[in-house]
Amino acid sequence: MRIVVQRVTQASVTIDGSIKGQIGLGLLLLAGFTPDDTDEDLKWIAGKVAQLRIFGDSEGKMNLSVQDVQGDMLVISQFTLFANTKKGNRPSYIGAAPPPIAIPLYEKFIVYLEEAFGKKVQTGEFGADMKVALLNDGPVTIVIDSKNKE
């Protein structure tokens, strides 16, 4: 599993002209899955994201988590995180999990994230044509890959 974490002051996802999910201060998460991702991968990233200290404290140092600042999370599925660009100019997505595998992983990840976070998260819709708007704060953008946890 690979996730892009963006610290935001606001973010939203629109599908067919309607807002599906939106948050104020918090984290926008772009989540991609591979066929060999396990429950352990999903739980590890969920715990890591919930505790990630990337918000400023009273001295301006990144010492606070999204929980500490009472922020929210918006999770968007994004298979393109596993694009392979080694050959040619058209990326290959063969490393990304196909929908029958990715959808259950995405749904489980949301459950694990809500457990680690302690509250409901906002989401997009798997496979939909989504328009994501955000105001990146900092900017702070971090990539976490479950294959690099050791």
pLDDT per position as a tens digit, 74-104? 999 999 999 999 999 999 999 999 999 999 9
141 in active site: no
pTM (two decimals): 0.95
Point out the catalytic residue in the list 55, 79, 82, 117.
Answer: 79
d(C-alpha 2, C-alpha 33), whole Å: 6
78 in active site: yes
Point out the catalytic residue in the list 6, 34, 78, 122.
Answer: 78
Q: Give pLDDT, residue 30.
A: 98
Q: Give pLDDT, residue 149.
A: 78
Q: Which CATH class is domain 2-148?
A: alpha beta
- Percent of the chain topping pLDDT 90: 97
Point out the catalytic residue in the list 38, 51, 70, 80.
Answer: 80
Give the residue extent of every domain in the chain: 2-148
**Cis peptide bond N-terminal to 100, omega within 30:** no
117 in active site: no
